[in-house]
Structure 1
Amino acid sequence: MPPGAQALSLLGEALYAPELPQEIRADYEAKLAQATADYRADPDDADAIIWYGRRTAYLGDYLKAIAIYSEAIEKHPDDARMYRHRGHRYITTRQLDAAIIDLRKAAQLVAGAEDQVEPDGLPNALGIPTSTLQSNIWYHLGLAYYLKGDFESALEAYRECMKVSTNPDMQVATSYWLYMTLRRLGSEDEASIVLAPIDAEMEIIENDGYHQLLLMYKGELPLEALLTEAEGDDGVQNATLGYGIGNWHAYNGRPKQAETVFRTVLHSPQWAAFGYIAAEADLERMGR
């Protein structure tokens, strides 16, 4: 891997930490400085290590974040959170097999335990966390399998995730990947069942892109509305909508249109976005 690169894409291209607007970078750096101070004050504290890793990753140093979580696992080998967070960053850096190992371990550690709300490092507009430890474990495990093209295993993980997706935001996020997994498996009737409870009146705080895509798949939102949204300034949202639109073309038998949209997604600098990684995975499977 070239010096300074954080990862190699699934298409073999070097990926570097994306540029951040100056104001955002300054905010992230200040929060990392505090997290670093907290960690140094008590390097064995599990929460301090987690936030040190999370704040490091938000600035694009994913490899250092992985190293931090690896240290955390040595100190707290039975804490599922460490494997959950390292697994996430293994996905970011395209180390999918390692991600699956970590996330399966996390799932084993939380089996039978009470779920817990996971605090947001990048809070939404209302400052209300929408995910839990267990939903994040299953969600990321499903994604890792999906990116590998192991749709049967992804289906199993997303079904587990639905069991712990207890608010509209997590319900639409999980339903989105579950729906696409079923379509990739050719299970169109089952996929339609996933869409049944989705409606325009759901109170969504942060997962608007997934909600809009599901409404489009259901025939309640025109494609044109999403295309306009996908041309906005939010790189992560653009990748989410772009991949969802491209995938819609793919499972409806329009591979050329799908490839065109997937390539457009890769023009975004937000290469850590799940839609971006999924577009890479599909292009790699297409032999492109």
Structure 2
Amino acid sequence: MNWKINLFLLMFPVLYACEGTTVVKKKTQNNFIVHNENVFQAFSLKGDSLFTKIDSIAQKPQMKALEDAEEAYLEQSNLENLIWIGRREAYLGRFDLAIRTFTKAVSEYPEAFEPLRHRGHRYISIRKFDEAIEDFEKAALLMNGSVIQTEQDGMPNKLNIPLSNVQFNVWYHLGLAHYLKGEWEEALEAYKNCLEVSVNDDLKIATMDWYYMTLMKLGREDEANDLIKPIKKGLDIIENEAYFKRILMYKGEINPEELLDVDANASDQKLQYVTQGYGLGNYYLTQGDTVKAKSIFQNVLNTGYWSAFGYIASEMELAKLSNE
């Protein structure tokens, strides 16, 4: 596979749903064709076409990171370097190429659980939940009994400290895939396992938020409240502040309206809004305020940030509400 050529076929996502595709071609310094166009990636849960739009100029740093990953793989063709190519492709919104790369890794390293973890994640991005579940379940079997494996960040947090681990990511995303299918019991089991490998406060907060919402979906409100009872203000949360605020809202320690007060200067402002928006909409849904919930879910979709989990969950809720 010619990774060098693939680099210049990539295009960055300003991620949104749209109908048409306009193509403008130009030459790079290396004389490869770069297509500035909308590339179809998936259908939303509401049936809309989802596209990735690439801007090779605005996203030059991301393109350079992918090029570096490709160079590393050419110098040393191992599993880790192959996975980094797929991860960099995914950060550019080319989930189609990322899945292809992870599939190559799965084929070449059939006993490895890491490529299944990453491919499953990107199957969620394109709404292929059954395929994601299959990958995560295989990964869970392969990693059974293995030592906790820290996962390096492709987009480091503010302290540049990797917090997650592969085992966490397998169970967390498996729970999410079941949750997005409305399979609450299966999601709950995954989050129980995830909590066991949530080795720091950031991971515990992220797991407990989805765990709590799953219990609420099952009508087990007392268990849900008991789960989050130990969480107090003042925890030193590095990167999962959005989930932390959601839990504090469930506990009544912050007002629901405060949830959407995101930092206007934050680099991940839109992601924060989408994450908080789903949590707030779901909160109103559990309170029986369907009108307010639907309005917030729609506002999340209006951001166009369709690869975010909060966006996909908002899609799921609106699709269900429209069928009721």
Interval containing the TM-score (normalised by the shorter chain): over 0.9
2-side partners of 1:96 and 1:280: how far apart? 14
Quick one: which amino acid aligns to residue 283 of structure 1? L
The aligned counterpart of 1:147 is 180
Would you tell me which structure has more helix in proportion to its own residues? 1
Q: Is contact 2:148–2:167 with CA below 8 Å preserved after alignment? A: yes
Number of equivalences: 286
The aligned counterpart of 1:125 is 158
Are residues 1:29 and 2:63 paired? yes
1-side partners of 2:137 and 2:52: how far apart? 28
TM superposition shift of 1:18: 5.0
| One of 110, 123, 140 as aligned partner of 1:90 | 123
The aligned counterpart of 1:174 is 207
Q: Is the partner of 1:7 in helix, strand or coil?
A: strand
Quick one: which amino acid aligns to residue 222 of structure 2? D
Could you say which structure has the larger radius of gyration? 2
Where does structure 1 lack aligned partners over 5 or more consecutive residues?
none
Matches within 5 A, 1:200-239: 200-229=233-262, 234-239=269-274
Quick one: which amino acid aligns to residue 62 of structure 2? Y
Cα deviation, 1:199-240, whole Å, max 9, x if unaligned, reads 111110000000001001101111222132288871111110
1-side partners of 2:149 and 2:262: how far apart? 33
Cα deviation, 1:147-197, whole Å, max 9, x if unaligned, reads 000000000000100001011110110000000000000000000011111
The aligned counterpart of 2:280 is 245
2-side partners of 1:163 and 1:135: how far apart? 8
TM superposition shift of 1:40: 2.5
Cα deviation, 1:259-285, whole Å, max 9, x if unaligned, reads 111111001121111000000011111
The aligned counterpart of 1:262 is 297
- Pick closer, same or farther for the CA change 1:230–1:101 going to 2, 3 Å: farther
1-side partners of 2:55 and 2:304: how far apart? 10
Would you tell me which structure has more strand in proportion to its own residues? 2
| One of 24, 28, 42 as aligned partner of 2:76 | 42
TM superposition shift of 1:7: 1.0
Q: Is contact 1:6–1:15 with CA below 8 Å preserved after alignment? A: yes
- Pick closer, same or farther for the CA change 1:251–1:65 going to 2, 3 Å: same
Q: Is contact 2:260–2:273 with CA below 8 Å preserved after alignment? A: no
Q: Is the partner of 1:124 in helix, strand or coil?
A: coil
1-side partners of 2:210 and 2:263: how far apart? 18
Where does structure 2 lack aligned partners over 5 or more consecutive residues?
1-18, 22-38
TM superposition shift of 1:19: 5.9
TM-score scaled by structure 1? 0.95
Q: Percent identity?
A: 43
The aligned counterpart of 2:46 is 11
2-side partners of 1:284 and 1:36: how far apart? 40
- Pick closer, same or farther for the CA change 1:153–1:56 going to 2, 3 Å: same
Q: More deviation in 256-265 or 83-92?
A: 256-265
Q: Is the partner of 1:5 in helix, strand or coil?
A: strand
Q: Is the partner of 2:70 in helix, strand or coil?
A: helix
